[in-house]
Amino acid sequence: MSARAPETSRHSAPTRPVNSRLEQRLEQFANHDRNALARLITLVENRAPETSSIIERIYSLTGHAQVIGITGPPGAGKSTLVNRLIVKYRALGKRVAVLAIDPSSPFSGGAVLGDRVRMTDHYKDSSVYIRSLSSRGSHGGLSRAAREIVKLLDAFGHDVIVIETVGVGQTELSVMDLADTTLVVTVPEGGDSVQVMKAGLNEIADVFVVNKADREGADRIKAELELNVHLRPAGSEWRPPVIMTQAVADTGIDLLVSAIDKHRQYLAEHIDGEREAERRRREFVEILTAELDERAGRALKDGRAPEIMKEVGAGRVNPYSAMHRLLGDPDAIRALLSARNDSED
Ligand SMILES: Nc1nc2c(ncn2[C@@H]2O[C@H](COP(=O)(O)OP(=O)(O)OP(=O)(O)O)[C@@H](O)[C@H]2O)c(=O)[nH]1
Ligand SMILES: [Mg+2]
């Protein structure tokens, strides 16, 4: 295969055509076909080359959903809470989607299986869509995929999207960045408020939840968190409330829903144009660098890499010199980036 870009890329049109099968899927998606939604999510999850074209096409339909992030230590009761929230939001007539991110265990882990079992009731409800996303082998791709899957769920017409992660790593934290309102769940065991501080969850919390409030020590955790909120440097007027819940017993959930509502209202009343603009610019840079990264990776894999790659591979050119040479050569860049935008699925 030629290392040069096909001629057409020089005149590439502003809208990217997609293959007819994908075109059909997008149409089915627009007609609220849940199978089409599932297929598109799978393409995005697998980082298919047409991912960015899919999101480009559905982008104008996004921006309506309320995105709620829920994070905290393993076993804190996050899924049980999500389950309760689904019921509350369904009672309000809202369409709900859940994206459960499983950080470690694709098949064997109890988390996903447990979620499935407890969430089974909702599977019959066509206004509830539940999907889990495995972080296995996705490297930096997980937060990218999560961002785009949230866009799909939003465009599909869900009013509320809940993202569940176990708050452990940078990836999970960056996924929480997608949420309008982030709930940090703690439990009265093993000094969990300290864990929350250490894990960097403190800074991202819009609402603290002390779940398993039936257990001893719940009041102490609540007091610690409240003190901590009080001692926060005054950067924002929003003071995260601390809500006590017993997810298994369906206790405290109404209070939680109302705290989420208040935060939503706060956001609506405090729209900061410059911050929004900055967020959009940052999102654009992230999308751009992610796309460059993915295209360069694909070019390398399917043999469309520019000549310089061979030189680097043979150790004849140092990678920094190669990078500078490549960036100074528009034809080589075009060759590298002229990824196909469709694939078999
Ligand atoms: N005592 C008590 N147990 C609870 C409460 N809420 C949830 N649990 C139990 O805690 C266990 C873990 O609940 P999950 O909802 O799976 O917790 P999770 O945070 O989603 O767990 P991972 O996704 O594995 O991190 C289950 O056995 C629940 O029944 C509660 O309010 N009180
Ligand atoms: Mg869970």
The best mutation among 80, 81, 120, 164 to test binding of ligand 1, ranked by most ligand atoms within 8 Å of the C-beta, falls on: 80
Which pLDDT score, from 0 to 100, does residue 94 have?
96
Confidence of residue 199 (pLDDT cuts 50, 70, 90): low
| CB of 84 shorter than 6 A to ligand 1 | no
For residue 172, what pLDDT is reported? 77
d(CA 30, CA 83) in angstroms, rounded, equals: 27
Q: Average pLDDT, stretch 145-170?
A: 92
C-alpha 164 – ligand 2 centre gap (Å): 7
Report helix angle 273-301 to 330-337, nearest 10.
90
Residue nearest to atom 24 of ligand 1 (CA): 111
Kindly give the number of the ligand 1 atom that is closest to the alpha carbon of 80.
15
Higher pLDDT, 31 or 334: 31
214 lines ligand 1 (CB under 6 A): yes
- For residue 112 and ligand 1, the question of a CB distance below 6 A is answered with no
Indicate whether 206 pLDDT > 90. yes
- Walk across the sheet containing 181-186 and list its strands: 128-134, 96-102, 160-164, 66-71, 181-186, 207-210, 242-244
Q: How does the average pLDDT of the chain come out, rounded?
A: 83
Q: Quick one: pLDDT at residue 262?
A: 98
Please tell me the residue having the least CA distance from ligand 1 atom 10: 77
Asked if residue 78 has its Cβ within 6 Å of ligand 1, the reply is yes
Start-to-end CA span in the chain (Å) = 22
Confidence (pLDDT) at 137: 54
* CB 182 near ligand 1, within 6 Å: no
Q: Is 75 in the pocket of ligand 1 (CB under 6 A)?
A: yes
Polymer length in residues for the chain: 345
The rounded Å distance from CA 75 to ligand 1 centre is 5
**How much of the chain exceeds pLDDT 70, in percent?**
81
| pLDDT per position as a tens digit, 284-341 | 998 999 889 888 888 888 777 778 888 898 999 999 999 999 999 998 888 788 765 5
- Which ranges of the chain does DSSP label H, i.e. alpha helix? 20-30, 34-45, 51-58, 78-91, 110-123, 141-155, 170-176, 192-198, 218-230, 253-269, 273-301, 307-313, 319-327, 330-337
For residue 123, what pLDDT is reported?
56
Query: Among 68-77, 223-232, 237-246, which is the least confidently predicted range?
Result: 223-232
Q: Residue of the nearest CA to atom 9 in ligand 1?
A: 77
Q: Which string of b and e fits 81-104 if b means at least 16 CB within 10 Å?
A: bbbbbbebbbeeebbbbbbbbbbe
> 119: which residues sit within 8 A by CB, 6+ positions away?
79, 82, 83, 86, 98, 130
Instruction: Decide: 166 in ligand 1 pocket, CB within 6 A.
Output: yes
Q: Among 14-18, 131-135, 171-175, 324-328, which is the least confidently predicted range?
A: 14-18
Does residue 52 have its Cβ closer than 6 Å to ligand 1?
no
342 has pLDDT over 60: no
Contact 146, 67 (CB under 8 A): no
**Residue with the larger pLDDT of the pair 138 and 125:** 125
With a 6 Å cutoff on the Cβ, whether 181 touches ligand 1 is no
User: Tell me: the pLDDT tens digits for 98-115?
Assistant: 999 874 443 332 333 344
The predicted-structure confidence for 3-20, as pLDDT tens digits, reads as follows 443 434 444 444 566 788
pLDDT of 16 reads: 62
What ligand is nearest to the CA atom of residue 212? 1
Bridge partners of 185? 209
In this prediction, residue 126 carries a pLDDT of 79
Read off the pLDDT band of 252 (50, 70, 90): very high
Highest mean pLDDT among 199-213, 243-257, 265-279: 243-257
Weakest mean pLDDT among 52-61, 150-159, 230-239? 230-239
Residue 48 confidence (pLDDT) above 50: yes
pLDDT, residue 10, reads 41
- DSSP assignments along 197-237, one per residue: HHTT-TTT-SEEEE--TTSTTHHHHHHHHHHHHHTS-SS-S
Mean pLDDT of 185-204: 74
Shortest-distance atom of ligand 1 to CA 82 = 15
Predicted confidence (pLDDT) at residue 178 exceeds the cutoff of 60:
yes
Residue of higher predicted confidence among 240 and 135: 240
Nearest ligand 1 atom, CA 110? 24
Q: Is the pLDDT of residue 66 over 60?
A: yes
What pTM did the predictor assign?
A: 0.85
